[in-house]
Structure 1
């Protein structure tokens, strides 16, 4: 079996450091926030070229607090994309604001910047681009439009640790950037975790209060806050793993390049790294009109795959109240029926990439001949 993700192999490769870090927290008894979390905030913010990091319990919480810090609330609108994990839209809904969708660019799978201005109304307060699959959205036009209309830019960077746009680390290009440390992410915790980064000290101060019951001083609550604190153990684990992220990212990029070479002649679309992009390949998503049959056949060959994402948010029953219909976002809808994510993680071997690619070739040839 070639797994879609192999977290155990990664853990074993750094086990002594992880175990030591966890035991250190257990001995310190700093289980919620604490020195390891605060150190990780500084280190990760610096890694993403931001001045402030606010560690929280999930990436969704980071998005929620970013929106609240920016003053987003009931009656406001936030422009984003329907081709994303549902947390992007859920965080907007948590504030009482309304998500407004624009379609994706069919090459990058990120926000089509040419559609943004037509979606802006007098109620629009923010733009939330999603850096999908490890590829950045086209940030310069987004920031320019936002500045011209007085809007906040909140980057959903949940899949974009180490991603760069024109040489700049994402998360620090807009007003606030939000990251997830869900276990399967390029930088993943051993549980849940998230972080917001910003260069705005007032946003940072507000988010720090909101994550900890709205208090800046213990038992003195300035805001109606939440229990969104990061666990000390996760902070310690993430500090260890951050030291390996450059190495792991280069391994992902090497695997992607190898996939690209082996799959180039097939009747599929491999990922396109845009000219402005340092792509970190959170997932390696190919496109095929035979997606479902290809997925089934690969599973029979003991190769696990994933689909990110089979149903766009605007067609999810949970968000039917937004009033969108099938056909509203044609690029999103077509991509959602064709994408298939192949195994992608640093510990993947070239032999495994060869095997996966050979099976993709054989299956597609068989389907073509049928």
Structure 2
């Protein structure tokens, strides 16, 4: 079975450096924060070109931490997209604010200035823009809009480590940029982990908030939580970070091969595309088809793993009933049940990739145009 991703292959190639880093942490017994976390924060800050980078327990917690630092809470509204993992809107609820779901544009499935404006109210305090599947939408325009309206901008870049607008990394356009190091991400740890990037003046406060709001000498200034990045995760991430440019290049090569190989069925299958002037991280390769469940089942029968994203958008999830509001979501409603992710990871072989292309082409070609 061709997997959607295969973490074992990557670990086998990097095992020596990863295991050496983990062993160093265990021998030092500096398990909580310390030099290993500080080292990774410095490396990630330089890689992203950010002013500061704060290691946290997960991307989900990074969103909560950003909202807490921005002072967002009960009575406030935060605009975001319904096409994302549940953690994006869940973070808004966790600080007591209200998620407001706005529609997306049809290409990169991103919020836009116009969809945000239609969702804005007198209670709107912030926007969380999601770089879905590693792609970048009209980020500069959204950043300008938020600045003009006095809104906090948080970039949910959980799926977009290494994506760029021009030469500038995503995560550095907003007031906060949040990354996830869930194992299947472009840069994945050995469990949960995340990063918040922000301007230098916010760094010390974010570091206080990630340890229960501790300001020193047994004093706690603000109710927060335990949002620390473990030293072992930091060691794994430091070992992998130098290889990220190759990971990104390999992912891009696979995406280009899919684009070329599936070009004959583009009339029946909508392929993902990058916005002009941006570079995708290609965290996932997600196609669109009105027969998404049939494609997933057919690929499984042919030995290819595929999965749907996000067939039930957030405004239809029971957990947000009575806790969120939504504007007109015409594009989100239409696109959500059509999304299918195909296998994409750096170590995918050419033979596997050609099998995926052939299988998709055969299945899609069986339908009338």
Q: Same fold (TM over 0.5)?
A: yes
TM-score normalised to structure 2 length:
0.96
Moved over 6 A (4+): none
C-alpha RMSD of the superposition: 1.4
Q: Does 1:336 align with 2:336?
A: yes
- Could you tell me which runs of 5 or more consecutive residues in structure 2 were left unpaired when the two chains were aligned: none
Q: How does 1:81-230 map to 2 (within 5 A)?
A: 81-201=81-201, 203-217=202-216, 219-230=218-229
The alignment partner of 2:252 has SS state of helix
Q: Distance in 2 between matches of 1:317 and 1:170?
A: 31
Q: Distance in 1 between matches of 2:323 and 2:344?
A: 34
Q: Distance in 2 between matches of 1:47 and 1:150?
A: 29
Q: How far does the alpha carbon of each residue in 1:313-332 deviate from its partner, in whole angstroms, 9 at most, with x for none? A: 0000111114658x931211
Q: Does 1:288 align with 2:299?
A: no
Number of aligned residue pairs: 367
The alignment partner of 1:53 has SS state of strand
| Change in 2 beyond 3 A, CA 1:95/1:37 | same
Report the CA distance between 1:37 and its aligned residue. Answer: 0.8
Q: Is the 8 A contact 1:4 1:342 kept in 2?
A: yes
Report the CA distance between 1:32 and its aligned residue. Answer: 1.5
Q: Does 1:236 align with 2:226?
A: no
Q: Does 1:277 align with 2:278?
A: yes
Residue aligning to 2:250: 251
Q: Is the 8 A contact 1:54 1:207 kept in 2?
A: yes
Q: Distance in 1 between matches of 2:324 and 2:298?
A: 37
Q: Which stretch has the larger CA shift, 334-343 or 114-123? A: 114-123
Q: Distance in 2 between matches of 1:234 and 1:59?
A: 13
Q: Is the 8 A contact 1:315 1:324 kept in 2?
A: no
Q: Does 1:318 align with 2:323?
A: no
Residue aligning to 2:299: 298
Q: Does 1:358 align with 2:358?
A: yes
Q: How far does the alpha carbon of each residue in 1:213-242 deviate from its partner, in whole angstroms, 9 at most, with x for none? A: 211325222222211111110000000111
The alignment partner of 2:20 has SS state of helix
| Change in 2 beyond 3 A, CA 1:323/1:154 | closer
TM-score normalised to structure 1 length:
0.96
Q: How far does the alpha carbon of each residue in 1:51-109 deviate from its partner, in whole angstroms, 9 at most, with x for none? A: 11111111011000101111111111111111110100011111111111110111111
| Change in 2 beyond 3 A, CA 1:200/1:100 | farther
Q: Distance in 1 between matches of 2:155 and 2:250?
A: 25
Report the CA distance between 1:188 and its aligned residue. Answer: 0.6
